[in-house]
């Protein structure tokens, strides 16, 4: 199955539709009047659909088992067609569109099976996805495309050239995936003035965000929080909490990170762990949803 452990848990919703076409009005009348010999078509088919949604991962090899929080089945009759809508919701790391489509198809097939003794001309048509919500795809085209960022790596060893930076480069890759322009990438030693200097410069320039990596642990050389906190106008604790909670699900050492998040003027300031994995996971936890902050800065209403 596809790797999804890097994804964040969120509300996922999908609506799928299938169509059953009968060949005569008498079949529709039998469904509506509950005179089909095999029983109540709508209720039996709905029950089959509920089972199908929950069993999707058992029959579709690449589907992940997931907690189904809600399934709804509804019908609409239009002439000789019965439209079946199946809505599925979960709070999980992956979507439920296949679950919804599987449910709709089984509802349709159950109707076919129940109606075939009285109608030999039934067709199952147009199994399709109508709606999908949740996950990073919801954020496409939601945010400005002119956002700028500076990435600052805090490390004595990398600044001295004895170690290669990978954390900063992973941050850059994830920012570029969110259409953020990188206007500076710098490595500085773990000294308070060296750490503060880029923040003061980019706050004055009006850079949208400055992201530090490194210097957020507990050793005597981890001074990034001490350097940044006096300069920040306002902390945003929820950002650091979201990053730490995401990391804690993946490694117990995340509790030791002293991540910093806040604003200086209208520049977003983030201090992330210095390890490649820690920096990458923090970015996965926060982006692209964190870009909504720039709509708040402008006083825009979030649609």
Burial of 79 per CB tally in 10 Å (0-12, 13-18, 19+)? exposed
The yes-or-no answer on residue 146 being catalytic is: no
Give the span between the Cα atoms of 226 and 206, in whole angstroms. 23
Cβ atoms of 157 and 190 closer than 8 Å: no
Give the span between the Cα atoms of 169 and 62, in whole angstroms. 32
Strand partners, 231: none
- Active site residue: 113, 119, 138, 194, which one? 113
Strands 10-21 and 81-92: what pairing?
A: antiparallel
Count Cβ neighbours within 10 Å for each residue of 130-166 and write b for 16 or more, e otherwise.
Answer: eebbbbeeeeeeebeeebbbbbbbbbbebbeeeeebb
The CA angle 257-262-268, to the nearest 5 degrees, is: 110
Give the span between the Cα atoms of 185 and 213, in whole angstroms. 11
Length of the chain: 303
| Active site residues per annotation | 113
């Amino acid at each position: 199955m596809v790797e999804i452990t890097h994804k964040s848990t969120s509300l996922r919703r999908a609506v799928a539709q299938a169509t059953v076409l009968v060949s005569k009005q008498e079949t529709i009348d039998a469904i509506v009047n509950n005179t089909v010999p095999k029983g109540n078509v709508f209720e039996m088919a709905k029950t089959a659909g509920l089972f199908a949604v929950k069993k999707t991962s058992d029959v579709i090899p690449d589907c992940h088992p997931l907690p189904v929080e809600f399934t709804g089945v509804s019908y609409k009759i239009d002439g000789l067609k019965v439209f079946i809508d199946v809505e599925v919701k979960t709070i999980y790391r992956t979507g439920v569109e296949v679950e919804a489509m599987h449910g709709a198809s089984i509802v349709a097939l159950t109707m076919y099976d129940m109606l075939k003794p009285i109608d030999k001309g039934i067709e199952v048509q147009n199994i399709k996805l109508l709606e999908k919500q949740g996950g990073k795809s919801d954020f496409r085209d939601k945010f400005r495309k002119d956002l700028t960022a500076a990435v600052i790596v805090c490390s004595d060893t990398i600044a001295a050239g004895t170690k290669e930076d990978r954390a900063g480069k992973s941050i850059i890759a994830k920012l570029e995936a969110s259409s953020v322009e990188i206007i500076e990438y710098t490595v500085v030693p773990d000294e308070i003035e060296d750490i503060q200097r880029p923040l003061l410069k980019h706050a004055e320039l009006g850079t949208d965000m400055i992201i530090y990596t490194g210097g957020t642990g507990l050793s005597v050389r981890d001074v990034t929080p001490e350097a940044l906190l006096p300069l920040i106008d306002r902390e945003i604790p929820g950002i650091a909490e979201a990053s730490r909670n995401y990391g804690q699900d993946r490694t117990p050492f995340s509790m030791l990170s002293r991540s910093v998040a806040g604003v200086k003027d209208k520049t977003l300031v983030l201090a992330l762990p210095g390890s490649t994995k820690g920096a990458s996971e923090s970015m996965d936890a926060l982006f692209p949803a964190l870009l909504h902050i720039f709509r708040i800065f402008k006083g825009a209403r979030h649609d």
